[in-house]
Amino acid sequence: MLQIRSLQATVVLLTLLGVAGCNVTSSSEKDRKAADEAAVRAQAQESQASAAAKKALQERLDELQHRIDALKTDAKPTTDKARRELDEQTKKLQEQVEELRSKLSTDKGRTEEWNKLKQATDETVQKIERKVDELRSPKK
């Protein structure tokens, strides 16, 4: 884009120089023709640069579109897989909740759960007591 603007500025400058230097003399006629030719060449170069820049931008846009399409294609199965895994985990957790509710709904179930909790607590207390005894005993 910067090249295009600098070429446009060059064309305008050359054109102004050609117009400003127009005299009736033959040397000024040659200068004017040279300026006109330079302006034509500059316009042609500007046109080529513009076309090249447009082509490069279009190629870059096409490349980016292909990358986006590839990412979308790759992401869809991953999303579906993640959704299925999440649904499976949710279903397992719901089954566990229902199982616990059914156990806790009966006296026997509540007693069993209480006994499990009590046993786990007793084991933890014993571990803590052993650790405290170990820390209190003098090191050999």
Question: pLDDT tens digits, residue range 68-97?
Answer: 888 888 877 778 888 899 999 999 999 988
Q: How far apart are CA 133 and CA 140, in angstroms?
A: 14
Same domain flag for 35 and 50: yes
Task: Give which of 21, 18, 50, 46 is closest to 34, Cα–Cα.
Answer: 18
Q: pLDDT at position 50, please? A: 83
Q: pLDDT at position 76, please? A: 77
Same domain flag for 40 and 75: yes
Same domain flag for 101 and 121: no
Q: Which domain holds residue 138?
A: 106-140
Same domain flag for 83 and 129: no
CB-based burial label for 31 (10 Å; 0-12, 13-18, 19+) = middle
Backbone angles phi, psi at 22, to 5 degrees: -75, 115
Q: pLDDT at position 121, please? A: 95
Same domain flag for 12 and 63: yes
Same domain flag for 93 and 42: yes
Same domain flag for 96 and 126: no
Backbone angles phi, psi at 23, to 5 degrees: -125, 175
pLDDT grade for 129, boundaries at 50, 70 and 90: very high
Number of independent structural domains in the chain: 2
Which of residues 100 and 87 earns the better pLDDT score?
Answer: 87
Same domain flag for 53 and 117: no
Q: Could you read off the pLDDT of 6-55 as tens digits, one per residue?
A: 656 676 666 665 555 554 456 788 889 888 998 899 898 888 888 888 88
Q: Which single residue is written with the structure tokens 């127009």?
A: 22
Same domain flag for 78 and 129: no
Q: pLDDT at position 62, please? A: 87
Same domain flag for 27 and 63: yes
Q: How far apart are CA 27 and CA 127, in angstroms?
A: 110
Q: How far apart are CA 7 and CA 2, in angstroms?
A: 9
pLDDT grade for 124, boundaries at 50, 70 and 90: very high
Q: How far apart are CA 134 and CA 137, in angstroms?
A: 5
Q: Determine contact, residues 45/10, Cβ cutoff 8 Å.
A: no
Q: pLDDT at position 24, please? A: 47
Same domain flag for 128 and 70: no
Same domain flag for 33 and 15: yes
